[in-house]
Each structure stands twice: as structure tokens, then as C-alpha cells.
Amino acid sequence: MPECRGAEGRLRCRLVRRWHHQPGADEVISETGTETIVLKAATVVPPSAANARPLSWLAPRTGCHLDGRISDEHASAPNSARVSILSACNDAVPDHGEDYLDGNQSIRAPFTRAYFGAAAAILATKPSPADARVLGELLLRHYGLTGTVRVLSSEVECTAEVALWNGDRLILKTSAQPEGRDSFRFQVAALAGLEGTCGFAVPHIVRTGSGTLMFEEEDVCGYLQTRLSGVPLHQANATPDVLYRVGQALGRLNLALEPLTLPAVHRPVLWHVGCWPRLMELEKHLPTGAVADSVRLSMSNYVELIEPQLREIGWQVTHNDPSPFNTLLTDNGVAFIDFGDGCWGPRIQDLAIAASHMVTDPSLALGGAENLIAGYASVLPLSALEANLLVGLIKARQSALILINYWRAGLFPAEAAYIKKNVARAERGLSILSALDVGEAEMLCVARCLSPRGGPPSV
């Protein structure tokens, strides 16, 4: 093991441990849950009195293996070479540079195994234990704020709710992992880029005392955002009208994201469609039976029929996880939170993901997702090809969710219930869509995408 001295040494140690470590069930660190600690102003002395100020400054609009082992060619390399392994795995496509879309993204060729391995390693890494007192110190040091810090459940980064003494509530996100920096740079740039948009809501970024969107220390980074009040869609009465309005808001979100140029948009993300052809390597973690059969068939259909046509549709920055847990119904309309999986992908990917969670009733056309689809199409019309590909994308996304979360639940059994919170819905939705004839499903989808714009279609 290399010397772990200095910033570079600590980064090197973390990377070497990551690539050599294969998590076991007995090594899982349980999440802090709802640990609460009250940090008084006297606990930590702020670096300067200038940092202690009220909340009044929102950002203006302006070669890796699946189990995390290092590849043979890197294993023999000196320690100094290992520091660059993560950035080398950021390459989504072969080095020869062919088959790029907009000069960045490959459609014809599958993403490199290095990219897939890096993306899988991120989700195979045990989350760092959260300490509410440390989070309170970071809050005071970088924002000059004090209050009650409550650690929330999260999968990769640390998320905490901050209740200020004046009653304001904020969300503090931190990460001690090297890849967290790129993820946070993307997230804060996306939220800042969406400031001032209409037709949907997102959290506002709270700037640090030095005026930056996020803070970066030697061993930790993070950012602070407003906490939106509302009812998560998974807890709401999802009537046809509600789903239609959610679809409209999602369409407006995609329109607002389309012109943005963001940092780290091509960082490793296992939920990216480019990783899906390799996800069947996780099939062994599924229980045998109808679900596994449906997943196998849907992913085969995606690889053979859907993926080859993705180069023909529009790509842009996407949220990449507008699930019912990340969609809120607020007094001011529909809101979207948690841009942590955001990336450069097919524009209709967000629609496919949101719709995949709404397939719940076999008696309805497309299981109930048709109203959300129609709402989206009323704002952002789909091409005939996009409409034809949508059902296949929905089924592939449901399958990807099932595969990834069964795999991660095995790695972290103590957090299995939280990790698999969307799995039952995905399994049911996939079974409903799998019962439809492919041609019939495509025709239903096209019909909904071409529905009149006056309001939600009748059911």
C-alpha cells in the first residue's frame, strides 16, 4: 500500500483500495438514519466574522473490473500511475474517436469496459459514515450558519437536512469520495443553470462565504441548497390530471436543460444508457422466475433493436432520474430534486424513466403511464421514431433498475430496503408491459404522444 501522506497520497490510497476491494456482507456500514445533533454557535469558531451572515445569497441565474478490482495492466503499474485510473475510466468511448455524437458521445459502439467498471465501482463503494457534528462544522466554516443537522438516508453521497434558527430549512450534500467532486460540479452547475426558469421548480444553490457554488477541502467537498416543501409523487394521489401535469413539467425541464453546457457531463454513471448492454453481467443476482425472464428479454430487445437507433434521436443534458421519489408536488407546481445521476443522454430518456414508474394498472393503456407521456408530448412533441422507441426504453430502464438494485442490495444488505424502494414497482410495470404485444404497445405509445394538447386524454 502506498504512503498516504499529503493530498495526492490520500487520493492514491483511496483509489488503490477501491480497485482492490470487493465488498462483503459483513463489511457494510449502516447508514446513520435520522441521527440528530444540535450545533450551537459556540461549538466552532468561524474563520472570520465576515462568514457569519444571514441566508440572503442564492446563486444567481447565470481497465476496471465489475467487482472493483484493478485490471492486470494497471496492477503492475507504479503507484503514481494509479492516481489517474479514475480519470482514464471517464472515457465513454474507444480512444480512436470514431462514432461520436456532437463530438462527445458514441452511439454505435458500446461504452468502454473501463467506463462501465468505473461506474460500477462507484455504486459498489460503501458510503462514508456521516457525522452530524462534522457536517455542522462544515456548515459553519463555509457558510457561517448554525442550526440542527439531521442526516438523511442516501445511497452514495451524504445528504443532511439543516434547520436554521430562523426557521429556514436547507439540504447539505457532502462527499469524501474522489468521484464526488465531479458529481457535485455537475449538480451545482445544473441547478445554477436552471435558476429563473418557469413551469417547474428545482432547489436553489446557496453560495459559500467566498461566493462559490460548492466548497472543496482536501478530503471532502459539498454544497448547500434550499429544501423544497411538497408531497413526493410516490405519496400523492396520482390522478390522470396530476400525471399529465408532471409530464408537462418534465418536458419543460428538458427544454431548459437542452442549451446548458455543464462540467463532468460524461463522468461515469452506471444508470447511463451506454452501460445497459453490460448490465446483464449482474443477472446472477436476480431471483429465478418470471422477473428474470422478462429482464433478459427486455435487455436483449434493447441491445438488438433500440440501442442501434438511438443515434437517430436528439441527445442533451438529462436529469436521468425523475423518479416518484425525486418528483414533488408543491404549492407552486411540480418540482424535481436530486440531479446526481444527470448526464448526456437521449432526450426522451427522462420521459422513459418517469413513465417507467407509472406503469401500475394492467387495465389501462400502457399501464397508466399514458397520461404522463401525453403531458410531456404536449410541451415537447416526440418524433415518430422517439415514440416508437419509447416503450422499449421504458422496459429497458425497468430492467436496469431491477438488475442494479438487486446487485447493490446484495452488497449492502443493511440498506437493502432503501436500495430496493423502487424495485417492486419496476417488476410490476415490466410484467404489465411484457404482456403487451410489441406492435400494440408501440401503437398505443404513438397514439398518446400524438394526443391533442388541450388536456389529459380520457381513460
- d(CA 7, CA 218) in angstroms, rounded, equals 6
Please tell me the least confidently modeled range out of 169-178, 379-388, 439-448. 439-448
Residue 356 main-chain phi, psi, to 5 deg: -60, -30
Burial class (CB in 10 A: 0-12, 13-18, 19+), 367: buried
Average pLDDT, the chain: 79
Task: Tell me the C-alpha distance between 265 and 269, whole Å.
Answer: 10
Whether 344 has a pLDDT exceeding 90, the answer reads yes
**Higher pLDDT, residue 42 or 406:** 406
Helix axes 179-193, 240-257, angle to 10 degrees: 100
What is the structure's pLDDT at 365?
80
Contact 379, 248 (CB under 8 A): yes
- Its pTM stands at 0.78
Q: For residue 405, give every residue at least 6 positions away whose Cβ sits within 8 Å of its Cβ, in sequence order, or none.
A: 419, 420, 422, 423
C-alpha cell at 167: 426557521
Q: pLDDT tens digits for 66-105?
A: 333 333 333 333 322 222 223 334 444 443 433 333 434 4
**Contact assessment for residue 256 and residue 203, using Cβ atoms and an 8 Å cutoff:** no
pLDDT(61) > 50: no
DSSP SS3 for 118: helix
Q: DSSP assignment of 300-322, as one string?
A: HHIIIIIGGGGGGS-EEEE-S--
In this structure, what C-alpha cell is assigned to residue 372? 404522463
Integer-rounded Cα radius of gyration of the chain: 22
pLDDT for residue 440: 63
Would you state the cell numbers that stand for residue 367, as one nine-digit string?
A: 399501464
- The Cα-based distances of 14 to 74, 82, 240, 306 in angstroms read 15, 10, 48, 38
Report CA-CA distances (Å) from 362 to 101, 136, 358: 38, 48, 11
Give the pLDDT of residue 439: 66
Rounded alpha-carbon distances, angstroms, from residue 168 to 194, 226, 255, 361? 22, 9, 30, 40
Cα distances (angstroms) measured from residue 434 to each of 258, 296, 351, 386: 32, 11, 19, 19
Supply the DSSP string of 413-428, one letter for each residue.
GGGHHHHTTTHHHHHH
Has residue 145 got a pLDDT over 90?
A: yes
Residue 380 has a CB neighbour count (10 Å cut-off) of: 22
Identify which of 313, 336, 331, 353 has the alpha carbon closest to the alpha carbon of residue 252: 336
**pLDDT tens digits for 313-338?**
999 999 999 999 999 999 989 999 99
Domains and CATH numbers, the chain: 30-67+126-226 (3.30.200.20), 231-449 (3.90.1200.10)
Query: Given the DSSP bridges, would you call strands 36-39 and 147-152 parallel, antiparallel or unpaired?
Result: antiparallel
Residue 62 has pLDDT above 90, yes or no: no
